[in-house]
Every structure is written in C-alpha cells, then in structure tokens.
Structure 1
Amino acid sequence: MSRAQGANRSFFPFGNPFRMISPKGTKPSSQLLSVLHAFEATLEERLKKLIPNSKDEILSLSWMTLAMQALCESHNDIKTLMTELELPVHDWDEKWIDLYLDISVKLLDICNAFSSELSRLSQGHLFLQCVLHNLGSSTSEQYVRACSSLDGWKQHIGSGNPRIEKCGSILNDLLGSLDLPKVKKSTKGKVLMQAMYGVKVLSVFVCSVFAVAFSGTTKNMSALDVSEIYSWAPTFKRLQDLVNEEIRVRFSSERFTVLNELESVDSSVKELYPIIQVVVDPVEMQSFTKIVAELGRSTEKLSQGLDLLTKEVDNFFQVVLTGRDALLSNLRSVATDIHRNSRCNGDGQIVN
C-alpha cells in the first residue's frame, strides 16, 4: 500500500475531496445538523476509548477486540442514521449505492481473511496443549515429544497466510473509496455521506492495524490525513499517531510478533526449549516448573483472547452482511414498484 515499507501514504490520491456541507447549496436544517453532530460525537467517544492508558496495551488481543466492537457499533449507527434521516432508498443517488455495496463487499473479504488467520493461530494452541501435557511427566520420552510439539508450533506460527497477504490490495481499494461522492441537491444525502466518511476512516484504520499485526510487516500501515474540519479529527490523529508509533517501535526491535499475547507465549517457549532438549537437572527443576507454569498461563490467555476476537470479527461480518442485504432487498422492492407502475395505463388500470 505504501511505496516503501512503513512510509506514510497520501490520503487523497485525487486531490482533497473534502467539503463540509456545502454553503452554496441548500443548507441542512438545524434538526439535520443536530443528528449529524450527535453521530460524530458518538464516533469521537469510541475513538477516545481506543486510546490506551499504556502503549503496552496496543496490539493486544483485548485492544483489537475493542477496536472491532467499535467498528460493529459504528456501522450499526449508520443504519440507525438512515432511519432517522428518513431517506428512502429510491432517493439515493446511484453512485451512493455503488459506493456502499463496493465497500461492503471489500469489508466482507477482509473479515474472511482475518477469520482465516485467527483460526490458524487458534490451531497452534493444539501444539501448546501437547507440550504442556507431555511436560506433566518427567520421562525423557515425554520431553522428546514436547520438543517435537514445540517445533511444530514454531513452524505453524511462522508459516504465512496467503489470505492475509492479499489484504494489501483490499486496503488499497478501501483507501480509494474514502473520496467523498459529490452531493448537490439532497441535504440529507450530504449528512449521510459525511457520517459514512467517518465510519470509513475508522474501518480503514482498524483493518490496516489488523493487517499489520497479522502479516508481520508494516507495508499495510496507514497514515490517514483527516481534515480538521471534522470534530473527531484531532482525537483520531492522536489515536493513529500513538498506534503507528508503537507499531514502528515493535518492528524495529525485531520481535517475533507484534501481538502481545503471542509474544508472551514465544518468550516462554524460548526459555523452555533448551531445557527440555536434555534431561532436566534437579537443581533446575524450580525454574523449569516456573517456566512451564508461565507457558500454561500465557497459552490460556492467548486462547481466550483469540476466541473473543474471533467472535467480534464474526459479529462485524454479520453487521456488514445484514446491512448489505437490507439495501439490496430495498432496491429489489423499489424495482418491483417501478415495474408495477410501468404496467399501468393512463387511467391507473393494470395492463394485462
């Protein structure tokens, strides 16, 4: 997505499209502005909740779960906003519909990629369970089996995921979709597009962070330059700067992974592996027992974190899918009404 790994990307490949609700056209009513401001205030509160108290919380599975929850809630808010605006589908500009459908299918694709990676990481838990089971015995044969399981875990976790590797092109497409479509006549349409823009920014940011965490490279890291005309822009900038800086620090330290829980497991594995390659000396048993216990705790924490994040990614998939299905259903309903009307004669009688 970037020309060089970790480089900032231009947010506007086709120039700055930003226009606040245009002063040249019909201005929104105070009621419409109130609805928009409430939407953006809620969005800003969600951004604030993603700003961690400590940098150590960044790229933890718990933080990623909160980020995915924020996406689910914000996309649900868009559906609620459509209801509040009382903007029926037949009043939607065709380009708005195309934009919504295009973004939704890309989000579904990227959700599938994330689910695939979470499933792959969860499968690694089986290797760790075998390790812990075999270390419950002090026989040399069990240690050999434990070593084999550790080798299997390292090989499994270190293998790539082709679906994650494809996230870069999807994110590039999502980045291009941030360009706001022009809205000339509909004040409600302007409100909807501005609200959708905020949710699109959050979506690109969160998905980019996930792609970085899962791919082990900063090439998918985004640097979105949001105009200060948006009330939530300063909060977003603070969040993005904090997260991106921590990502750069972690990659510069050449860590095994940038994911906290996975790094914790790997740390215990590195301590344990050389010990169980030989028969454990009784003098070392105390530290050995401590390391095994720590591996057990970090393994359980990783497993629980992956389960919770998987659930939220699945929830987001359903939110996007139901929104897309609802729009398509409404479009079919409108098409049916048009077809019925076209079969009527001038007196309103149905032509058989």
Structure 2
Amino acid sequence: MLFVHKDASAYRFPFFASSPPKSPPASLARSFEDALAARLADLHLDTASLSWLTRAVRVLALTLDDAAALLADAPVSSSDRDALAGHLDSGVALLDACNAASAEIDRLLRRRLHLRFALHILASSDGGRDAERLRKARDSLEEWTVGPRRAIKPSAVDLVKSLAPANPPKGKLSVARRAIYAVAAVSSLIVGALVAALGGSEHLAAVRVPSDLPWAKEYHDLAAAISHKLVGDWFAAELDAAQAAVQKLTDVISTNGEDMTETLRKSIEDTKKATGALTEGLDELSHAVSGLFHSALGLRNAALLGFRVGSCK
C-alpha cells in the first residue's frame, strides 16, 4: 500500500529536486573573509593564558573548516594549482606543529603529577606534624620546580616559519588563492603564538598582509598584541600561578615553625586551586589542538581534491 502525506506538495522527490543556485565566487570569498575578520577582532589578547591559547586555536580550526567548505563550493581552475600545491606542503608542517604542541602539553600534564602527589601526601600529614611526610612532599614539589618549564622541540619553530605565506599576492586573486593565503597567514600567527608559549619566546618574523584584504586590520592588531605579550620569558598565566603557589608552599614546609598549621593549610589550598586551573587549561588546550589537527586534515583533503580537479582542466 502506498501512503501519501496529506501535504504532499511540501515534499519533493529527489530526482525532481533542483540544486539551489550557488553564490558567485566573489560573494563566497567575501563571506569567508568577513567571518575571519570578526573572529580575529573577537580574539583580543588581554591576558596571556592557556584559555586564550585555546580560543585562538579554535578560531584557527574554524578558519580551516570554512576554507575547506569554500574550496568545495568555489570553482578551481588550473591556475590555482600552484597555491593548492603550496598548501599541501605547508599543511604537513601544520600537522607536525600540532603533534609537537600535543607532545609538550602531555609532558606538562605528566609533570603536574608531582604536584598531585605532594598534595596527596600533605592531605594525610597530620596537620603538618609528620616530618617524614613533609619531607616527601617537599621533594615532590622540588621535582616540579627543577623540571624544565618548556621542552618543546626546537624544530617546531622551523615548522612555524614554514607556515608563513610567501610574498603577498598581487593582482586579482581567485577564491581559492584568497582562502589559501588567509589560511597561511593566520596559521603562522596563531601556531607561532602556541609554539612560543609552549617552547619559549622566539623572535618569529611577523607577516604583513596586504591592507586591502577585509581582515588585514584585525590581523595586524592581533599580531601586534601577540608580539607585545611574547616579549621576554612569557608564559601562560595558569602555569605562572602554579609556579608561584608551589614556591610558596615549599617555603612554608621548609620553615618548620611551630605555628605553621594555618599557613600550611592555606598554602595547600592555594596550590590545589592553581593545580586545578592548570589541569583544566591544559586539558582544554589539548582538545583544541586535537580539533585543529582534524581540521587541518580536512582542509588538506579539500585542497588535494581541488588540485586533482584543476589538473583535469
């Protein structure tokens, strides 16, 4: 028996459906670039923190997702093959940079175990009267203190440099070229900040994009803010807070005063709070970097498909 919906006119059979008209290429590019400008403007850098790095990495992932969708909808000609081939090369560097960042985040999470162990010992130290437990806790805290704050591979800096776009494009650009150039510039900026935060401040060359691009002002404003924050031995606020709390707790334990119980209790609570914020920040950043990796793979696949289509024209 054939069932027909009362309002059959509201449904169309697939073989009678007509595809919605595609937006013209210029409209596609402008929509992509306007969205990028808005995201960069919203990414203002007030406090250098793991939470800000997480937001920045997510903005980059969204940009890659939009670029992949744009390449799927926009016409790709044989003249775009050079730009697509260039992204296929730099896309590998982006994936490698994600892996380097993930490895460093994992190292920091493992290093944080020294803090958790020390706090566990202190929780059962009889209010600070168990000298042996205090000694073990202090030793564990010192393991955190003497360990390297940054240990990301130096090669990660070279990966960031390879992400930077070549000379600014001139003349009228196709939709594909505009998207690929935007991806390269934003990847260089945000991954550069990520690697600098995890691996130490580096003097990475700033990219100057053409001023006629709709997102140029927002990009340069953000680049200037990042450059200002990366001066000297910049590090994420959550890690600095944990370092300060650990140092204070170590000093309190080393004092061994008779009236240290309340001071010790407060220092333990401060260190717990700082450790919790650090753990949350590292976990969220780890998830964001993982998402960026998958977005980079998606854009690479879209570029590869466009490269093959362009070669057939």
Task: Please state if 1:294 is matched with 2:263.
Answer: no
Whole-Å separation in 2 of the counterparts to 1:261 and 1:179: 37
Is the contact between residue 72 and residue 316 of structure 1 (CA under 8 Å) also seen in structure 2?
yes
Measured after TM superposition, the shift of residue 82 of structure 1 is: 1.4
Alignment of 1:162-201 (within 5 A): 163=153, 165-175=154-164, 177-179=165-167, 190-201=174-185
Question: Is 1:46 paired with 2:39?
Answer: yes
In the alignment, the residues of structure 2 paired with residue 234 and residue 334 of structure 1 have an alpha-carbon distance, to the nearest angstrom, of 32
Q: Which residue matches 1:75?
A: 64
Aligned residues of 1:124 and 1:157 also touching (Cα < 8 A): no
Aligned residue identity for 2:88 = L
2:213 is aligned with 1:236: no
Residue type of the alignment partner of 1:216: G
Q: Which is further off, 92-101 or 118-127?
A: 92-101
Task: Note the alpha carbon deviations across 1:122-174, whole angstroms, 9 max, x for none.
Answer: 1112101011111111211111111111121123343633x2x1122112222
How far does the alpha carbon of each residue in 1:266-285 deviate from its partner, in whole angstroms, 9 at most, with x for none? 01111111221243422x32
The 3-state SS of whatever aligns with 2:211 is coil
Q: 1:294-342 CA deviation, whole Å, 9 max, x = no partner?
A: 110010110011011001101111111233245446767999x99xxxx
Aligned residues: 287
1:269 aligns with 2:261: no
Deviation digits for residues 213-250 of structure 1 (CA, Å, limit 9, x no counterpart) = 11222333x422222111211111221212211222xx
Q: Secondary structure at the match of 2:285?
A: helix
Partner of 2:98: 111
**Residues 1:82 and 1:44: Cα distance change in structure 2 (over 3 Å):** same
Counterparts of 1:116-195 in structure 2 under 5 Å?
116-136=103-123, 137=125, 138=128, 139-158=130-149, 160-161=151-152, 163=153, 165-175=154-164, 177-179=165-167, 190-195=174-179
Matched residue type, 2:140 = S
Pair 1:330–1:35, CA change in 2 (3 A)? closer
Q: Are residues 141 and 92 of structure 1, via their aligned partners in 2, closer, same or farther at CA, if it must alter by over 3 Å?
A: farther
Shift of 1:286: 2.1
**TM-score (norm. length: structure 1):** 0.74
Contact 1:72 / 1:319 at 8 angstroms: preserved in 2? yes
- Say if 2:91 and 2:300, in contact at 8 Å, map to a contact too: yes
From the superposition, tell whether residues 319 and 153 of structure 1 become closer, same or farther in structure 2 (CA, over 3 Å).
same
Indicate yes or no: 2:295 matched with 1:319.
yes
Q: Aligned partners of 2:184 and 2:103: how far apart in 1?
A: 23
Q: Matched residues, percent identical?
A: 26
Distance in 2 of aligned mates of 1:280 and 1:234: 57
For residues 112 and 143 of structure 1, the distance between their equivalents in structure 2, rounded to whole angstroms, comes to: 38
Instruction: Give unpaired runs (5+ residues) of structure 2.
Output: 1-22
- The residue number in structure 2 matching 1:307 is 283
TM-score where L is the length of structure 2 = 0.83
